[in-house]
Structure 1
Amino acid sequence: MNELFILLKKGSKSALLAAIINTIISIIKGFAYMLTGNVAMFAETMHSLGDAANQFFVFIGSALSKKAPTARFPNGFGRLVNLVLLGAVLVVGIMAYETIIEGYHHILHPTESEGLLINVGVLAVAIILEAFVLFKAMKETLHDVGLEAKGMGIVPKSFANVNKAKPATKLVFLEDLVATLGGLLALAAVLISQFTPFHQAEGIASIIIGLLMFYVVGKIFLDNAAGVLGEADEVMQNKIGSAVLEDPDVRDVQEIAVLKEGDELHVEIKIEVDPQITLAEADDIKDRIEEKILKEKGVTDVIVEFDEDDKVSAWENREQNKER
């Protein structure tokens, strides 16, 4: 039990915060829907409820993925967060389907909802809270990729680098981006339905919100399916390979693989050196290379292999093939 609490402390803080806030929002929206019967509010209730459940699972998965390797699982539990996320998106997918169906029925049989002030007030509070969580996820995104920004400069930088963030951070970012947009859309639909005869606006908004939820489902599913299979980090491969070549005793980088395991990176590299060096010199080179690579963010273990210098630059040929 003590180990579980220690692991939970290492879970994604942004996911936990988002889960708590979205739980509160879903309860408030649910009461508003029961009082007013507003279909757009129903869509937002389902959206927030799905996000809360999803983000709670993400928090648990990100925590358990930090568990140390065991004799049975020597490669660790890094990919567990990807597996949890694959399961979590099913929850959002089901709720997205229900949201679209409810919106479709409302378009066929539009009714005028009541409680304008309740709907507007609840949606306004929800938008503010979801925007707050989104901004926290933006800051977490920059922290994941090792960048800094202040004020509104955080927004464009986070959008540019969200695909490089940890899986849990990326999910919170995307879900709360869609949640904020969905809240604005629902608010617009409520006002249109209230002040015009076009009561179908709430149903249309519900369908659009459901489709946005499906977009998140698809995006997260594809990203984490790749993580479960074992995805290479090409950006980090290039960075580490170039850094290793700066060592005066490294003649060439013959092979390099940087494999993502959840939030962790595992590096295997084969370098070419002078075949005349002694075993002691080779050991010193290995220690230097390992120390240098382990300083890179997210790298947890390194395997260094040696080969004799064949006078052919495998690294230059690799870079030239990529440019083609």
Structure 2
Amino acid sequence: MPKPRERQISLLDTPYYHVCSRVVRKAFLCGIDESTGKSYEHRRDWVEARIHQLSEVYSIDVCAYAVMHNHVHIVLYVDTDQAKNWSTAEVLNRWHQLFKGTLLTQQYTTNQPLDKFQQASVESTAEIYRKRLMDISWFMRSLNESIARQANAEDNCTGRFWEGRFKSQALLDEAALLACMAYVDLNPVRSKIAKTPEQSAFTGIRLRVKAALKGGQPKQLIPFIGAEQENKLKGLNFPLQDYLTLVDSTGRIVREDKAGAIDQDAEAILTRLQIPITNWLKLATEFEHIFTGAVGTPSHLAEFTEHVGLKRSHGIANSKQWLNMR
């Protein structure tokens, strides 16, 4: 039986989460239906554009994503500090990019006069919106409902397009985060949709490679800041080049037509993560099968279990086996 959402998400323990949504009724999210020959590839554009739009509106950043034939993977970072510092006007302006709001919030943002009771009502409503703008469930609702409406209109049908619930995994430490990101970034390579990570269309890794070739990082994704830039407000605490090297060398091994090994330059990041090289390929190709719930050290898993109200921790044995955590 699926766990309630409040027992899968605890921002007290981690701001990082892996989410996955799948379609139902044998529907195609993207790809080509071999039985009819009809192509749905254009829907990748819909999903990717919507993910980018939502990351601009919500106080939720994207670490990695992959738009597949019948599902989408996203690794998210919830920036609660940013949302808490928004003014009432900022909250309402962001909310109105996606939803109509109320008559009073619309009047407030157009600078129409309000009495003190109306002002208090607007402030109260803005606090509700503020919480929603850092809520993963609302983020996924904004993504899935929009795509479902477009797909159903195109298919000339009604009813569910997505499964009723999206899958959510808490990523409790750096090892869990990087292993999950690599798993998501290598999804198209593992599924033989693309030959290399940089050829994987509609993925975060392709954006990172394209930006890196120009000496930068994509604005649509949370940046790698590296250990030497820990004074930055937020970012992934690894050098970008190390991560790209790690994903590239792992992708070469995943491909059956290419012999390969983990590059020596990539070994440093695995050493820091305390993940044995022999375990890394397993993690990068079977992350969801190895871990069905929260991922992290035994101590992190115990704290997470307590905070979300579960009776016992899950995944400790696999954590010790595959992430080499004691």
Q: Fold-level match, TM-score > 0.5?
A: no
How would you bin the TM-score normalised by the shorter chain? under 0.3
Whichever of the two has the greater Rg, that structure is 1
So what's the TM-score if we normalise by structure 1? 0.27
TM-score by length of 2: 0.26
Q: Which has the higher helix share?
A: 1
